[in-house]
Amino acid sequence: MKTPPRNKLCSTEQLSRFHDGELDARERRQVESHLPNCPSCRIVLEDFDRLGHLYRRQADQALAAVDMSALEQSLLTRMQQRGGASAGWRTWLKPTRLLIPVTVAALALVFFMIPRPFNSVPNGSAPSAIINSFTGSVTSVMLFETPNTHQTIIWFKEDSTANGENDAVENL
């Protein structure tokens, strides 16, 4: 489709602001009176609409691909684990609430007085390290796990030609 010729009144940046309702009243009137006579400006505005529509469609698709309720649950669990926000320390001085800290204190005293008979050891079946992400000036990376204690080993080759991080990672 051929784009009609534009004249010196056409400013796509101004059209962008017009599209967003960000022109003052005088500028807006100018553009509104210009548009009926300028097919190319009308096409630009249609394009802006189209782009916004495309973007919202992709955003809907991105949202549909996420299990929001699982995300919410995971988040609330983490927040609960963090212990909640400050609940007001003053409430802990109320008589009825003293029983809990007293019990905790007593248990703590007992716990610290008894020597620990064992040291906890890592779980034998899970890898010692989970690699969440990696980047760097490398040309190759290998990941190993030892068979007995499942110790994680990362082996990387330093990039001797060192053109920079991006080049090295591109070669992986």
Per CB under 8 A, 6 contacts other proteins? no
Site string for other proteins, 46-65 (x = CB under 8 A): -xx-xxxxxxxxxx-xxxxx
Residues 6+ apart with CB under 8 A from 19: 45, 48, 49
Per CB under 8 A, 167 contacts other proteins? no
Per CB under 8 A, 9 contacts other proteins? no
Per CB under 8 A, 117 contacts other proteins? no
Per CB under 8 A, 16 contacts other proteins? yes
Nearest to 147 by CA among 162, 127, 167: 127
CA distances 49 to 54, 144, 167, Å, are 9, 51, 38
- Report how far Cα 22 is from the mean position of its chain's Cα atoms: 30
Q: Which of 128, 163, 167, 171 binds other proteins (CB under 8 A)?
A: 128
Per CB under 8 A, 112 contacts other proteins? yes
